[in-house]
Structure 1
Amino acid sequence: MCEKIEKVNSWLSAVFGDQPVPHFEVNTRTVDILYQLAQSSEARCSDTSLLIEDLKQKASEYQAEGAHLQEVLLQGVGLSYASLSKPASDYLSALVDTAMVLGVRDTSLGSFMPAVNNLTNELLEAEKSNRRLERELRALRKRLGATLVLRSTLQEDVNKSVKSQAVESAQAEERLLNMDFVTAKAKELANRRERAEAQLVSRNMDKSITHEAIVKLSEEVTALKQEIIPLKKKLEPYMDLSPNPSLAQVKIEEAKRELAAIDSQLEMNMDFK
């Protein structure tokens, strides 16, 4: 633990330099985290130092090779960069820039051709990947269109279902209110009927004047009226005959008695009604 704390303090001092190190809570977790950061930082710094040294070495090699080529050109051909014409200088600069873009070690044809071939292969792969991505994009757009149409249809169905449910809910509520009203009315009528029956019982009402009794008497009166009709038809043939005074008188008296009895029964029934 103490070794980790010393390493962390040393790393923090190197990181912040002349600035004071911020205060932090010293515990096992914070020390472990800072120790891991210190190790990662040192490993990264070591890798960076190696890379810098390698780049410096390559730069020195390129400088030495450039100086050698300049000396060869100057001594062998008698040319220097300052003695070149402007087009030649421009071509040389373009050649150097191309070599830097391609990342080749020198400007020889043997270095340029593999680099150009690599770039061509990368371009072909990029175009191939681009065509594949375009096909996938078209397929995605097609699926997206179908999905949007389906979503629109589903949304319309949902809206219709919501409206239908709202209407059905309103109808159900209305039916419930009507049922409550009918139930309450039926209960009220039953109570009124019970009170009316109790009042009739308390007043010793004659059952012969009830609605059922009156309906029955009316049916009996109608039946008696129907019985009178054939009797009247029996008397019709005798109305045109010259009557035998004695026999006619007897028949008339019998008919009068029958009519009187029927009229009496009819009046009695009518009185009950």
Structure 2
Amino acid sequence: MGEKIKKVKSWLSSVFGDQPVPEFEVNTRTVDILYQLAQSSEARCSDTALLIEDLKQKAAEYQAEGVHFQDVLLQGVGLSCASLSKASTDYLSALVDNAMVLGVRDTSLCSFLPAINNHTNVLLEAEKSNRRLERELMTLRKRLSTTLVLRSNLQEDINKTVKAQAVESAKAEERLLNMDFVTTKAKELSNRRERAEAQFASRNMDESLTHQAIVQLSEEVTALKQEIMPLNKKLEPYMDLSPSPSLAQVKIEEARRELAAIDSQLEMEMDFK
């Protein structure tokens, strides 16, 4: 426990430097957490230091290699950086930039070709993926267009249905109002009929004077009139004859008897009613 606390205090002092270390509660849990952080920090610092040393070593190697190439160019060809033209310097800068973009170790053809092939394959795969995505996008656009048309048609059908439902609701409400009115009127007429029947019953009214009996009697009278019409037609030829007292008297008596019989029958039926 004591070694951990010493290590934690040493690590905190190195982290905060000249600033004072904040106060914290010293217990087993906080010391363990800070100790783990200290170990992780030291491990990362060690890795970083090794990486820095490696980069320094590579920089030194690149620098030595650059000096070597400069010596070779100067001694073998008689070229130096100062003697190169601006175009040559630009070409060299472009070559270096391409090498850095491609991530190659040097600017040799053996390094450029695999890197270019690799990037070409990546470009082809990207173009292939792009074409596939364009096809999928076109399919989605077609589906979206179809969906929008269906949505528009569905919205139009919904609007029509809402309007039709509003009209049907208004008609149904009107029918209910009419039904209520008819029901109320029917109840009123039924009450009036019951009161009238009670009033007629209290007055001991003859059934033969009811509307139905009078209508039936009128129909029978009409039928009897239809039966009398042929007899009147039989009398019409005799109306134009010159009067013969004996014959006319006989015909008149016969007609009177027939009329009397019909009147008697009519009176009997009316009395029966």
Q: TM-score, normalised by structure 1?
A: 0.72
Counterpart for residue 206 of structure 1: 206
Give secondary structure in 2 for the equivalent of 1:107.
coil
Counterpart for residue 62 of structure 1: 62
* Distance in 2 separating the partners of 1:161 and 1:21: 74
* CA positional deviation for 1:148: 2.0
* CA positional deviation for 1:51: 4.8
* Distance in 1 separating the partners of 2:173 and 2:113: 86
Q: Report the more deviating stretch, 125-134 or 73-82.
A: 73-82
Evaluate the alpha carbon distance shift between residue 19 and residue 190 of structure 1 in structure 2; reply closer, same or farther with a 3 A threshold. Answer: farther
* Distance in 1 separating the partners of 2:8 and 2:219: 121
Counterpart for residue 144 of structure 1: 144
Counterpart for residue 125 of structure 1: 125
Evaluate the alpha carbon distance shift between residue 85 and residue 159 of structure 1 in structure 2; reply closer, same or farther with a 3 A threshold. Answer: same
* CA positional deviation for 1:215: 0.7
* CA positional deviation for 1:134: 2.4
Q: Report the more deviating stretch, 92-101 or 130-139.
A: 130-139
1:99, 1:106 within 8 Å by CA — same for their partners in 2?
yes
Evaluate the alpha carbon distance shift between residue 10 and residue 197 of structure 1 in structure 2; reply closer, same or farther with a 3 A threshold. Answer: farther
Counterpart for residue 92 of structure 1: 92
* CA positional deviation for 1:232: 2.9
* Distance in 2 separating the partners of 1:142 and 1:87: 53
1:12, 1:21 within 8 Å by CA — same for their partners in 2?
no
Evaluate the alpha carbon distance shift between residue 12 and residue 152 of structure 1 in structure 2; reply closer, same or farther with a 3 A threshold. Answer: farther
* Distance in 2 separating the partners of 1:22 and 1:180: 88
Number of residue equivalences: 260
* Distance in 2 separating the partners of 1:249 and 1:139: 117
Give secondary structure in 2 for the equivalent of 1:81.
coil
* Distance in 2 separating the partners of 1:199 and 1:22: 112
1:99, 1:112 within 8 Å by CA — same for their partners in 2?
yes
Counterpart for residue 217 of structure 1: 217
* Distance in 2 separating the partners of 1:224 and 1:186: 38
Counterpart for residue 188 of structure 1: 188
* CA positional deviation for 1:226: 2.2
- Unpaired segments ≥5 residues, structure 1: 1-5
* Distance in 2 separating the partners of 1:182 and 1:215: 28
* Distance in 1 separating the partners of 2:215 and 2:15: 118
Evaluate the alpha carbon distance shift between residue 101 and residue 218 of structure 1 in structure 2; reply closer, same or farther with a 3 A threshold. Answer: same
* Distance in 2 separating the partners of 1:22 and 1:140: 61
* CA positional deviation for 1:243: 3.7
Alignment of 1:210-249 (within 5 A): 210-236=210-236, 239=239, 240=241, 243=244, 245=246, 249=249
1:179 and 2:179 matched: yes
What is the CA deviation profile of residues 51-87 of structure 1, one whole-angstrom value per residue up to 9, with x for unaligned ones? 5554344333323332333344445555432343333
Opposite residue 140 of structure 2, the aligned amino acid is L
Opposite residue 171 of structure 1, the aligned amino acid is K
* Distance in 2 separating the partners of 1:44 and 1:164: 78
* Distance in 1 separating the partners of 2:97 and 2:184: 101
* Distance in 2 separating the partners of 1:128 and 1:59: 39
1:96, 1:107 within 8 Å by CA — same for their partners in 2?
yes
* CA positional deviation for 1:123: 2.2
1:11, 1:38 within 8 Å by CA — same for their partners in 2?
no
Higher RCO, 1 or 2 (CA under 8 Å, sep at least 6)? 1
Evaluate the alpha carbon distance shift between residue 217 and residue 19 of structure 1 in structure 2; reply closer, same or farther with a 3 A threshold. Answer: farther
Task: Output the aligned Cα RMSD.
Answer: 4.4
* Distance in 1 separating the partners of 2:219 and 2:9: 123
Opposite residue 187 of structure 2, the aligned amino acid is K
* CA positional deviation for 1:90: 2.4
Opposite residue 89 of structure 1, the aligned amino acid is T
Give secondary structure in 1 for the equivalent of 2:205.
coil
- Unpaired segments ≥5 residues, structure 2: 1-5
What is the CA deviation profile of residues 169-195 of structure 1, one whole-angstrom value per residue up to 9, with x for unaligned ones? 222222222222211211111111111
* CA positional deviation for 1:121: 2.1
Evaluate the alpha carbon distance shift between residue 241 and residue 14 of structure 1 in structure 2; reply closer, same or farther with a 3 A threshold. Answer: farther
1:168 and 2:171 matched: no
